[in-house]
A and B are shown apart, each in its own frame.
Chain A
């Protein structure tokens, strides 16, 4: 059974594990935490369609699987199309009486940032635009981690990756992250949210709402990657929390186009605190950090304007 009542405290998260251990995800993997909670939320009656990526390869090496749900992986760029196909099939088979029309079976697509922001964007757009009843979950570790840390459209400004190396002329990623929420928003879908595994109650409640949504929903979750972000294994939750506390990652919920910040941050921490824990930002000079700080300041301002309140406050003195 899917999680049906609102999640207000950590104790509302179901105890039952629906994501088996023994997978080969890294020590301290943020995506593994996300998958555990996602599967708790969706319960038994959900069919998962997963894009190629870390989570896919580390959980399904034949003859083993970490999944308890029916699960389908086709390729890298087509989680949206695959989910559309499963959803359409369920619809047709229910209408024709092959499957009990009263049984609720949700389709859940899972993809990383590469499979969503880049190669899978077209397929995602098609799925959102056609209005399929699919919940799409993005675990965003901000680079192609499965192939060994190459930059993606989700890589943040300044970050080192193996394809945005720190050299004499160029120093890390040159462009800020692509605005996935803006893209989802442009499709006018009923439910969009951002989440962080460091805020489990907020994340699980958003996953639940996305699950309950009739029509397409998208939950975009920051997913710290210990080898890719060059962080200590035990720091992945801490980093996911600092992303929120510095205003780099705002916890949003957009229901039918109406935005709301779900976790307010009255006093922001300087971005330096987030950046300094991560080896991928180690090369940044004070000047470069100031540039990122300015970018985040502008972003926070934009969010506050959008939600119509000072949800995220100024940097603490």
Chain B
């Protein structure tokens, strides 16, 4: 017995020594962020590929490393319901999900944001059924764009951790009070081991402090409030407009958090990240771990002498419209690359419609295109992205109008076929 204890102590010390830089999966990084943020209530439910987040949180609590109430809910709808209720009671609350789980809790996504509850959620992005598929794409995340959440996308394991730490600060900020979701690409980040520099509890709690009870309205017998009222046509609209303004104004706090994070820990975060954009003529907009692939393609193209650049959306909601417009103002042609499909839409890649609209209302029209690839975990190869850039280059040069999304990499499908429709 004593021997085991000693060994444990030893191991603990070791862990502290190496904790400056560890090897971790995205799921582990997420659980670590939850632990370091001293979350009060976590609702957990297994779904691939976020399941290790749930397991690790349970382990931290079982070992006494995290003092939280873990609710072993019976489904994701209850998971989000429970954490929204916990947040309404004043707790720092967290849950994680993926794909079907996110769809199952969809109703509660709206309720979380409209009740202005600062819950934080990790989303291991994954394709939606049917056919059932456990691998990565962004269909789940893009399905929650309209739900009023702040949405942060992570490119690597370090960003999963950093985004979650910032998420608690942003969500609970008195000028925000909105739920925040942090994505990690299913398997690509959730299960891939990468170097991670966690900050530890002390740092996290100084960066994302727990505010005194009563800084926002909570369920408390000493000051009873009624939450979740009936909004008649007299007042529903006004409540919704408040939400519009809140999400819009959260941008300032997100920026401030990213800036201060950079000052304190050397890793600065903006709403977008520009890669080789200074003199870029061709730009792709992408997000999540896919952005890493686009960066690699940019490097190759630059070697060939093609002036390629990339914009990574770190924040999808609120959409960083000014930043994206500014970044695209001086390029000659732009395109989007995304892992989701907006079925039946005017343009079936949804990022494109937003950016094109943002540019169009400012009178900026230039050669543009949209690309879908990587659905349901299909690998996107860097050489394919290079080809996409070359396609965009051809569009720029020919001046032809691309009216439809290019579905890249579909077996037996020539993406140009769709243009003839």
Contacts and interface: CB of A to CB of B under 8 A. Distances in A.
Instruction: Indicate whether A and B are direct neighbours in the complex (CB within 8 Å).
Output: yes
Interface of A: 44-47, 49-50, 56-57, 60-63, 65, 67-75, 77-78, 80-86, 88-93, 95-96, 98-99, 105, 122-123, 125-126, 129-130
A83 to B, nearest CB: 7
B310 to A, nearest CB: 41
Interface of B: 40-41, 43, 67-69, 71-75, 77-79, 81-91, 93, 107-108, 111, 115, 213, 219-221, 223-232, 234-235, 239
A253 to B, nearest CB: 27
B221 A123 contact: no
Nearest to B83: A85
Given A81-B85, A105-B221, A92 B228 contact: no
A81 B81 contact: yes
A295 B74 CA distance: 35
A61 B234 CA distance: 10
Nearest to B110: A75
A247 to B, nearest CB: 35
Contact of B78 (A46, A56, A62, A123): A123
A85 B77 contact: no
Given A57-B230, A98-B90, A74 B81 contact: yes
Contacts of B231: 62
14 contacts: A60-B230, A72-B219, A75-B107, A86-B219, A88-B71, A89-B69, A89-B85, A91-B69, A92-B41, A93-B89, A95-B67, A99-B90, A123-B77, A126-B74
Contacts of B220: 70
A84 B78 contact: yes
A187 to B, nearest CB: 12
B230 A62 contact: yes
Contacts of A85: 41, 43, 71, 81-86, 88-89, 93
Contacts of B234: 62
Nearest to B82: A85
Contact of A73 (B71, B72, B89, B229): B229
Contact of A88 (B82, B229, B235, B239): B82
Given A88-B41, A92-B86, 6 more contacts: A71-B219, A75-B111, A78-B77, A81-B77, A85-B88, A91-B69
Contacts of B69: 88-89, 91-92
Contacts of A67: 224, 226
B221 A70 contact: yes
Which residue, of B79, B226, B234, has the highest number of chain A Cβ atoms within 10 A?
B226
For the complex of A and B, list the 5 residue pairs with the smallest distance between their C-beta atoms, beginning with the closest: A85-B85, A73-B228, A85-B82, A81-B78, A126-B74
A231 to B, nearest CB: 26
B221 A63 contact: no
Contacts of A44: 221
A70 B73 contact: no
B226 A60 contact: yes
A83 B91 contact: no
Contacts of B43: 85
Nearest to B68: A92
A152 B44 CA distance: 31
B82 to A, nearest CB: 3
A182 to B, nearest CB: 19
B86 A86 contact: yes
A93 B91 contact: yes
A71 B224 contact: yes
Contacts of B115: 74
Contacts of B91: 88-89, 92-93
B104 to A, nearest CB: 11
A81 B73 contact: yes
Contact of B89 (A47, A62, A75): A47
A71 B73 CA distance: 22
Nearest to B111: A74
